[in-house]
């Protein structure tokens, strides 16, 4: 395997995957295809941008002709597909953009890869289309200890999860119909460096630092299963190389947190690292109108991945949170560059509407 496209490589998870592959596999040519939406940021990849085995291509995955040309010109052997619209709150406001990027964009890549691979004498031999998806396609769990397995029926609730579910079905359909060597993984909530600060953890770290209100949706009772982003990137590496074709693997940390408890850990950690007294920022907690259709609980069973491929999370949550908070405190300039301008206006309007 030589030439690999990683889509969405300028985003949060994609940038960690690009970094891991560029550093670990000097024999691969890694082509990062990203449209650079509000969520894409080349500053996430400063440390590897001049590596000889790395190329950045600014392009929209929905642009079929460009995808066809790129895949043929670069003689692409593998695609790791992360590009997507990824924020549930935005999907509630603007579902069309999610259908376009997540469904039609994925279809455009699948069809472009099919055209090229089917034109080769070896066809699909040695090729791989790896689609990165989310546990949100499974819908919501009750507080009953059950977990999402690879057999759980799809039941998406938000426009975001509906669009991801649809894209997962297209990927599997390309295997079943054309024999394309596909893999799908469904991962739980990620956290760590370089996450766009509209998502809970970086948003709240930044707000605590600047003594801004922390908008907790509903009563803060929803549960999420959190995984350190570098552990997700490690899982993607293992699955891309050793995962079985046409399989689905769930990726998660067996690490469930009620939002309000997690928020208290964030407050305690930021306050401690900034030398504030215990409980200093608790007054910032502000309960606001709940998210429409807010899924109660997500929790992933990643036993299959552990048993088949030996992957396990490497970091305990306490260690991961400490590293993450420290990273955002040390990289205020990275945050400031994103949160100034357009995004600030967007955030203020979202917050005002609650």
Residues making contact with ligand TYD (CB under 6 A): 88, 189, 199-200, 203, 215-217, 222, 224, 259, 291
d(CA 197, CA 215): 13
Partner that binds at residue 181, options ligand NAD, ligand TYD, none, CB closer than 5 to 8 Å by kind: none
The answer to whether residue 136 is catalytic is: yes
Instruction: Check residue 19 for interaction with ligand NAD (CB under 6 A).
Output: no
Partner that binds at residue 203, options ligand NAD, ligand TYD, none, CB closer than 5 to 8 Å by kind: ligand TYD
Instruction: Check residue 184 for interaction with ligand NAD (CB under 6 A).
Output: no
d(CA 188, CA 280): 31
d(CA 231, CA 317): 11
- Find the distance separating the first CA and the last CA of the chain, reported in whole Å: 49
DSSP, collapsed to helix, strand or coil, labels residue 41 as: coil
Size of interface with ligand NAD, in residues (CB under 6 A): 30
Closest contact distance (angstroms) between CB of 11 and ligand NAD is 2
Closest contact distance (angstroms) between CB of 340 and ligand TYD is 19
Neighbours of 119 (CB within 10 A): 9
Closest contact distance (angstroms) between CB of 164 and ligand TYD is 10
Q: How would you classify residue 247: left for phi > 0, otherwise alpha for psi between -120 and 50, otherwise beta?
A: beta
d(CA 191, CA 229): 6
Identified catalytic residue from 116, 130, 138, 160: 160
Please give the structure tokens belonging to residue 121: 């004498």
Please give the structure tokens belonging to residue 271: 């306050």
Identified catalytic residue from 60, 136, 198, 231: 136
Restricting to residues 83-142, name those near ligand NAD by CB under 6 A. Answer: 83-86, 101, 105, 132, 134
- Which of 4-12, 46-54, 213-221, 269-277 is the region at the interface with ligand NAD (rule: CB under 6 A)? 4-12
Among 62, 180, 284, 321, binds ligand NAD (CB under 6 A): 62
DSSP, res 224: E
- Which of 7-15, 119-127, 290-298, 327-335 is the region at the interface with ligand NAD (rule: CB under 6 A)? 7-15
Instruction: Check residue 255 for interaction with ligand NAD (CB under 6 A).
Output: no
Partner that binds at residue 90, options ligand TYD, ligand NAD, none, CB closer than 5 to 8 Å by kind: none
The answer to whether residue 135 is catalytic is: yes
Minimum CB distance to ligand TYD smaller for 41 or for 195: 195
Query: What are the phi and psi torsion angles at 98 (to 5°)?
Result: -70, -40
DSSP state letters, 100-120: IIIIIHHHHHHHHHHHHHHHS
Please give the structure tokens belonging to residue 83: 């590009």
The answer to whether residue 344 is catalytic is: no
Identified catalytic residue from 60, 74, 85, 135: 135
Minimum CB distance to ligand TYD smaller for 84 or for 180: 84
Closest contact distance (angstroms) between CB of 342 and ligand TYD is 18
d(CA 278, CA 269): 9
Spatial CA neighbour of 181 closest among 236, 134, 126: 126
Strands (E), the chain: 3-7, 29-34, 54-58, 78-81, 128-134, 182-187, 189-191, 214-217, 223-228, 248-251, 256-258, 285-288
Instruction: Check residue 10 for interaction with ligand NAD (CB under 6 A).
Output: yes
The residues carrying an active-site annotation are: 135-136, 160
Binding-site ranges for ligand NAD (CB under 6 A)? 7-8, 10-14, 34-37, 39-40, 60-62, 82-86, 101, 105, 132, 134, 164, 187, 189-190, 196
């Amino acid at each position: 395997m030589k030439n690999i496209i990683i889509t969405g490589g300028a985003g949060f998870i994609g940038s960690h995957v690009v970094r891991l592959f560029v550093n670990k596999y000097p024999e691969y040519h890694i082509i990062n295809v990203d449209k650079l939406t509000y969520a894409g940021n080349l500053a996430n990849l400063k440390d590897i941008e001049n590596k000889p085995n790395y190329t950045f291509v600014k392009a929209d995955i929905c642009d079929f002709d460009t995808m066809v040309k790129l895949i043929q010109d670069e003689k692409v052997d593998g695609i790791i597909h992360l590009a997507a619209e990824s924020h549930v709150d935005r999907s509630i406001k603007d579902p069309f953009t999610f259908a376009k990027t997540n469904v039609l964009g994925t279809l455009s890549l699948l069809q472009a890869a099919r055209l090229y691979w089917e034109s080769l004498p070896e066809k699909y031999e040695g090729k791989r289309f790896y689609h990165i998806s989310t546990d949100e396609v499974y819908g919501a769990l009750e507080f009953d200890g059950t977990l999402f397995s690879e057999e759980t029926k799809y039941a998406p609730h938000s426009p975001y999860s509906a669009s991801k579910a649809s894209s997962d079905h297209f990927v599997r359909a390309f295997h079943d119909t054309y024999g394309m060597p596909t893999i799908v993984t469904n991962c739980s909530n990620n956290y760590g460096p370089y996450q766009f600060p509209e998502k809970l953890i970086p948003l709240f770290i930044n707000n605590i630092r600047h003594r801004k209100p922390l908008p907790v949706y509903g009563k803060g009772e929803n549960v999420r299963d959190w995984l350190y982003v570098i552990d997700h990137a490690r899982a993607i590496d293992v699955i891309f190389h050793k995962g079985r074709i046409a399989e689905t693997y769930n990726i998660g940390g067996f690490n469930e947190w009620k939002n309000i408890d997690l928020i208290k850990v964030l407050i305690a950690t930021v306050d401690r690292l900034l030398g504030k007294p215990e409980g200093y920022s608790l007054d910032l907690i502000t309960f606001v109108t709940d998210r429409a259709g807010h899924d109660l609980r997500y929790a992933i069973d990643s036993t299959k991945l552990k048993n088949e491929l030996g992957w396990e999370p490497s970091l305990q949550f306490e260690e991961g949170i400490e590293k993450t908070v420290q990273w955002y405190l040390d990289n205020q300039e990275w945050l400031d560059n994103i949160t100034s301008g357009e995004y600030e206006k967007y955030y203020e309007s979202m917050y005002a509407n609650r």
